[in-house]
Structure formats: C-alpha cells, structure tokens
Structure 1
C-alpha cells in the first residue's frame, strides 16, 4: 500500500491468528531510490511471509530484484527473519545499528538474552512456563533470525546517502539496547520499529526483561523533536499522518510512562516489599497487556534502583524512602 510518493507498506499480520498459524510478523516498508529499492525491516521468514511481500511489491509495480538494502530496526525474528529469503534472492546489504551486531547472529535466543537480568526478579514472573517451552513456542510462532554475510553496521546519526532520499540512523534503545529508528528528512517520514506500538493506547514497548525505562523515555523525547509528517510503526494497523497528531502521540506516551512510574511507587509505598508478579493487573490494560504487566514495573524498578530508591531483598523489591517523588 502506498504511503506517499516513493514509500510503501506491506504485511501487517493479525497477532493471535498469526501465532497460532505461525509466522507472526511486522509491517515491512519500502522506499524507492532511483532504480533501487530499500526495505525497512524484513518481517518473519516463516510460512511464505517474504513471498507475500514480493507479490505485493509486484502488484504495485516495484521490482523485488531491485532491493539493495534492508534497514533493520533490530534483530528480533519478526523483524529480521525474512533477511535469509531476500539475501538468497538479491543479496542486499543488511544494515543494523552497530550495538545490535551480536544479536543479529543470535536468532530467537535474542528474545531472552537477558535471562540473567530476569532471574533477579524470578524468571517465572516473566514467563510462567519452563524456559524450554517458551523457546519452543517462539521458534514455532516467529522462527529464527538467519545468518547472513552482507552486513553493514550503522552508527547513531549516520546519514545513509540514497539516489532520491537520504536516511538518518537514530539509535533509540529502550525496547532493547540495539534498537534504531530511521528518519527521512526530505519526506518527513520516520520508521520507528518497536519504539511505540500505536495499536494500543500510547504503548511504549517495554515488553522484555532487558527493556530500559530511562532509555525509552529519552528515545521518545529524541524522536518527538523531529519534523515528522508520516510515522511508520512496526505493528500498527495504519501509518499515522500529521505532525501534530504524531507529536501528541509521543507526548501522550511519555505521560503514560510517567504514570507507570507513579503507579509503581505508590504500590511500593502502600504494600511494602513486593514480588514482580504482584504488580500485574495494576496498570491500564488498554495499554499494558499480558507480559507487559510484569516487564513494565521491572523496567521502572531498575530505574529506581539506579537512583538508590529501591532495593532487592530475597526476590522482593523494597522502597527506600528519600522524600523524592
């Protein structure tokens, strides 16, 4: 589907149906660069997802053999699983932020690379099932990130020169440490991956044990300062159009994050030492669902620990009163 001149979007999947039938994926975006085509993310590699992208491109008059670059927002398999298919077909440069290089080679394991971090809050609070079962379901539903050789590592604020559009790399950690967004200044279009999921109510993607509250707040503030007319998120149903609407989304998401911090602090003050799973259900369910209800307070607690305001004791977290809100 055309977004604006030279930019297209493909492949949004229905989450639960996709997981049950395999191939949970993300939106894949294409931009024309003269005789070349660049993709942002590649989607899942399962059950013919890449072939569906190719078919959609051909329907819109784009030649899949012209793909010369794939700009990955990060290496999770629902974003990078399709790179094996495209590498075999047209050998594009696989571009990713330099801090995500090791994760690009880690496949599904990357989803739980922070098991040591998760263990601090009792890992079963995050995944109420044996880890072998969690890994098996992930491999079934979203697959792995395949190994490829044509990798180009990107730096924060690097400009990738194109025949029609230059693309600026913006390192936006928070969802995971190596996450990046891509901004096209002349078209005023931004590809934000999993920074925010507008399908929910102003949801910042703090849905892994390694997610970082302070980093994602800063990343959203960085993106809010850009002049954006088209906001392209990995799991949104639609591209968001309009600078004021986009800025309101960023501002509202920061407000939701602040509210999550206040909720966490209030619960610790009222209830005393708590386990992570005891926080679940106390955050707005229209925004934070399932695993978010544990990962969000954990991200907030890690931030409070850095401030010296929370201390872990025997699997519980205790507030250290300082008079600071």
Structure 2
C-alpha cells in the first residue's frame, strides 16, 4: 500500500470486516462494508484523523450494511454498489435482514457497471462484478495500491456461501477464476470475513480454483 493506511473493524454478529482506507496524501477515507455498530466506526475514523468520502458495498447482505444509513447520515457521503445488487439491498428477505430483529432496506446512491472505474478519496477504484454469493456481489480493485476488497466472493483458502437466495456455486467459481486469472499475484486481498490473503496464494492453494 503505497499511499494508504488501512484499518479493519470486525463488527456485528458474524464478525464482518469493515475496512477503513485512508489516503495519506489527501486525508480522505473510503469505508468498505459498514457492517454494524456505527459508533465504533466513528471512533476509529476520529483516531485516524480522516475525512470520509464514500461508502463501498461489496454486496447487500445484512451483516455488511446495518450501519450504512447511520454512517451516510453522519458524513453526508455517497454509497456505491454494483447495479445488479440493487434488488438485494432493497429486499429484507433477499438481504437476510428480514429474518432477524433489524429489518433493513437500502438504496445505493451510485450503481456501478462491471469494470466501471471511478475516483473516490483520491483513489482510482475499479468495480469487478463477481456473482455467486449474491447476484450483484462485487470486488473493488485499487491497482495503484495493490489492493482488492473481495467481500464474500473470495476468502483465505475458500469462497463465500452459495446457498442463500440468488447464490450460485458455478458463478462463484467462475468469479474466482476471473480474479486469479486477471489480477497480479502480489495483490493483497481483504475479504468480508477472516484474514487477508493474496491472489498468488489463492491461485496456488484455493481448492476452488
């Protein structure tokens, strides 16, 4: 990570990774998957002395989005997501929040097409559509920083579950191959749960490749 500082907040009932990526040059910040406990996110951002610029959602499941509205309201920043995840975000039964005590329906401000690149917090970011866990699951690739935020598509030595509504084992395997075939092996991968990995490691050892 050349020009960035990355911190991880592990939040919520299923230990979801919320990532805070600060641009050292501008002081601006990307928030990836504000999972829950908004006050904890606020506290960490104050410690980092950063100015939030955008929220990036890898997919719409409840455990990745419960703090989105509070974070958006606090900082008045836009929410990005894949265009094919709009339905999951809106539907509590699809995003699985309807089965708990905190039903959630969310509309992203900016819906991205596959391979669409955009600027946020002084970073150049590209959205890669990687369906399988959900229809609109995606990854965010920051080429200049050598970083991939993989959500629940790619984990250390594994992939995300495909037994939820809209899931597909064939699609997630195809998505995994797309990542390992197209990205540099030294790319650092930061998943929605568990520890980080690299594209090179997954290319060699992930049983789904």
Bigger RCO (CA 8 Å, 6+ sep): 2
Structure-1 residue corresponding to 2:18 = 28
Which structure carries more helix by proportion? 1
Q: Is contact 1:28–1:41 with CA below 8 Å preserved after alignment?
A: yes
Q: CA deviation at 1:186?
A: 0.6
Alignment partners' CA distance in 2, 1:8 and 1:79: 18
Alignment partners' CA distance in 2, 1:99 and 1:59: 35
Structure-2 residue corresponding to 1:10 = 8
**TM-score with structure 1 setting the length:** 0.57
Structure-2 residue corresponding to 1:57 = 45
Give every structure 1 segment of 4 or more consecutive aligned residues whose post-TM-superposition deviation is greater than 6 Å. none
Structure-1 residue corresponding to 2:100 = 139
Q: CA deviation at 1:181?
A: 0.1
Structure-2 residue corresponding to 1:101 = 86
Bigger Rg over Cα: 1
Alignment partners' CA distance in 1, 2:120 and 2:154: 26
CA deviation string 1:196-224 (max 9, x = no partner): 232xxx22113424321221111111111
Alignment partners' CA distance in 1, 2:57 and 2:106: 14
Q: CA deviation at 1:67?
A: 1.8
Tell me whether 1:220 sits opposite 2:179 in the alignment: no
Gaps of 5+ in 2: none
Map 1:281-300; keep pairs closer than 5 Å. none
Which of 132, 138, 153 lines up with 1:180 in the alignment?
A: 138
Which of 179, 193, 205 lines up with 2:160 in the alignment?
A: 205
Q: Is contact 2:132–2:167 with CA below 8 Å preserved after alignment?
A: yes
Which structure carries more strand by proportion? 2
Gaps of 5+ in 1: 113-134, 259-325
Map 1:148-167; keep pairs closer than 5 Å. 148=107, 151-162=109-120, 164-167=122-125
**Alpha carbons of structure 1 residues 252 and 50: separation in structure 2 relative to 1, 3 Å:** same
Q: CA deviation at 1:164?
A: 3.1
Which of 49, 62, 66 lines up with 1:81 in the alignment?
A: 66
Q: CA deviation at 1:60?
A: 2.6
